[in-house]
Amino acid sequence: MGSNNFHSASAILERKYFDVEPINKRIKVYQLPEEMDEQYLEELKTVAKKVACDKIIFYTRSNTEEESRVQRFGSHFEGEIKGFLNGEDAKIYSFYVDPIRNQADPDNVISRVKQLTLNKPTGKVNLEEGYTMIWAKEEHAEDMATLYRSVFDKYPTPIDDPNYIIEMMKSDVCFSLIYSEDELVSACSADIFTDFNAAEFTDCATLPSQRGKGLLSYQYPFLEKRMKELGIGTMFSYTRATSMGMNIVAAQQGFTYGGCMVQNSMIGTGIEDMNIWYKQL
């Protein structure tokens, strides 16, 4: 395409429901326009190449014309989140601008997780003596950045920056924290998608020395209770496909497995597969 066509195509990224994520080398499309056609999708592919993104993710309503168009575009079905779109189910498709991106990790633990007999949450809210669970405030941002920096070599967002964390707090993200005495040992968040009445359970991190104590299992009900109070209808999570711990936590907390997003997020060793989990509240 010529430069004029590129400028025309790039205008689509200014629409309300697009996320361009250079770190993850992907574009997320949460709502396609009613006038969407093959030319529109081709322009989107051109834009993806211009901004160095080689995966385009579409969240479509089930059994609709937009789902059919995305399928005809050559996209691959990766999973679903029931109730994600204001109570309507979302089907997730990905178009791989670079076919190499469509190579799933054979070490996905989901088959092993499904074989386990997992105990459901007990609902207990009392931590061990010396541990305290609180809602994060701006004054905790430095501690949080230090925790995330120590746990993750790579992450999809600059969460090791306290200023970025403060901005998240101001943008509909609720963080729960667990301190052991004066040391922050665990954190996670609920990132609210206000336009869709859904929230993502994410940014989970626990110091290696504190793992095995079920700290995230205390925090999730804490976050879920807050989301219910806010009227959120669906919670979902993308967990590292090779992490037994996080996938077990999701299953124990009553989430349903929704599929696998291939080479989806920059975390841990690089761009990794992420398993989809969802729960309707």
Residue 279 in tokens:
């729960």
Q: Which of 78, 27, 81 is nearest to 200 (CA)?
A: 81
pLDDT at 36 over 80: no
pLDDT at 21 over 50: yes
The pLDDT value recorded for residue 212 is 87
Q: Which of 177, 274, 187, 276 is nearest to 235 (CA)?
A: 276
Q: How is the beta sheet containing 131-135 ordered, strand by strand?
A: 18-21, 26-29, 55-61, 88-96, 76-85, 256-267, 270-280, 234-240, 198-206, 183-193, 173-180, 131-135
pTM flag (> 0.75): yes
pLDDT class for 5, splitting at 50, 70, 90?
very low
Q: Are 7 and 35 in contact (CB under 8 A)?
A: no
**pLDDT tens-place string over residues 156-182:** 889 999 999 999 999 999 999 999 999
The pLDDT value recorded for residue 6 is 38
The pLDDT value recorded for residue 154 is 86
The pLDDT value recorded for residue 175 is 98
pLDDT at 10 over 80: no
Q: Where are the domains of the chain?
A: 3-101, 113-280
Average pLDDT, the chain: 90
**pLDDT tens-place string over residues 95-132:** 999 999 999 999 999 999 999 888 766 555 578 889 99
Q: Are 243 and 113 in contact (CB under 8 A)?
A: no
Greater pLDDT, 62 or 238? 238
The residue whose two tokens read 């291939």 is: 262
Sheet strands (E) in 126-255:
131-135, 173-180, 183-193, 198-206, 234-240
pLDDT at 35 over 90: no
Q: Does domain 113-280 have CATH number 3.40.630.30?
A: yes
3-101 homologous superfamily: Gcn5-related N-acetyltransferase (GNAT) (3.40.630.30)
Q: Are 84 and 73 in contact (CB under 8 A)?
A: no
Greater pLDDT, 257 or 120? 257
The pLDDT value recorded for residue 78 is 98
Residue 17 in tokens:
């429901």
H helix count then E strand count, the chain: 8, 12
- 3-state secondary structure at position 249: helix
pLDDT at 185 over 50: yes
pLDDT mean over 83-91: 95
Least trusted range by pLDDT, from 70-74, 96-100, 119-123, 198-202:
119-123
The pLDDT value recorded for residue 115 is 92
**pLDDT tens-place string over residues 207-244:** 999 998 989 999 999 999 999 999 999 999 999 999 99
Q: Are 152 and 144 in contact (CB under 8 A)?
A: no
